[in-house]
């Protein structure tokens, strides 16, 4: 894939970013998302983006400001580095968290925990599913490996 194709893929992926989709209920989860993910969105927007969360299923539109920010941010990445960034975003299910981790605003581990906020909340409320926990640990390993290879 070319860098332009990868950047366009990441821009498309940004519309499904996990930190943009807040759960309307239970109220305790929504409050936690507002607190934790609201801060993530605020920090991302301070870098030059303009994203907003949703509590519905509608896909948020990306403003030109956000598209330009991501395109400019990633345009200087060499192909291999861009591929590792793509891996990091996939492990987090979040271009936003990958960007904030790359910029050292969050550690790899803290960003990963934020990416799993809803899942960890459900585990505390109900119970932990062994298969889901194994998959989460695998994603965390991918995130750590990708970040190391980014050479930040």
Q: What is the mean pLDDT of residues 29-33?
A: 95
Burial of 8 (0-12, 13-18, 19+ CB in 10 A): middle
What's the pLDDT at 31?
A: 95
DSSP reduced 3-state for 92: helix
pLDDT in tens, 47-102: 999 999 998 778 888 899 999 999 999 999 999 999 999 999 999 999 999 999 99
| Residue 54 main-chain phi, psi, to 5 deg | -140, 150
Torsion (CA) 95, 101, 102, 103 in degrees, nearest 10: 110
Q: Which two tokens stand for residue 85?
A: 């960034």
What's the pLDDT at 140?
A: 96
Among 101-110, 124-133, 137-146, which is the least confidently predicted range? 124-133
What's the pLDDT at 79?
A: 94
What's the pLDDT at 137?
A: 94
Global confidence as pTM: 0.94
């Amino acid at each position: 894939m070319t860098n332009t194709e990868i950047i366009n893929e990441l821009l498309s992926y940004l519309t499904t970013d996990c930190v943009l989709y807040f759960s309307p209920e239970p109220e305790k989860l929504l409050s936690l998302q507002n607190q934790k993910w609201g801060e993530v969105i605020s920090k991302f927007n301070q870098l030059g983006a303009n994203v907003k969360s949703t509590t519905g299923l509608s896909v948020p539109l990306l403003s030109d400001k956000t598209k330009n920010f991501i395109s400019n941010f990633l345009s200087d990445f060499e192909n291999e580095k861009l591929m590792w960034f793509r891996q990091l975003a996939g492990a987090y299910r979040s271009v936003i968290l990958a960007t904030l981790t790359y910029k050292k605003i969050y550690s790899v581990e803290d960003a990963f925990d934020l990416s799993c906020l809803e899942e960890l909340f459900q585990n505390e409320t109900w119970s932990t599913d062994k298969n889901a926990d194994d998959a989460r640990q695998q994603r965390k390993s991918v995130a750590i490996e990708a970040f190391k290879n980014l050479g930040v």
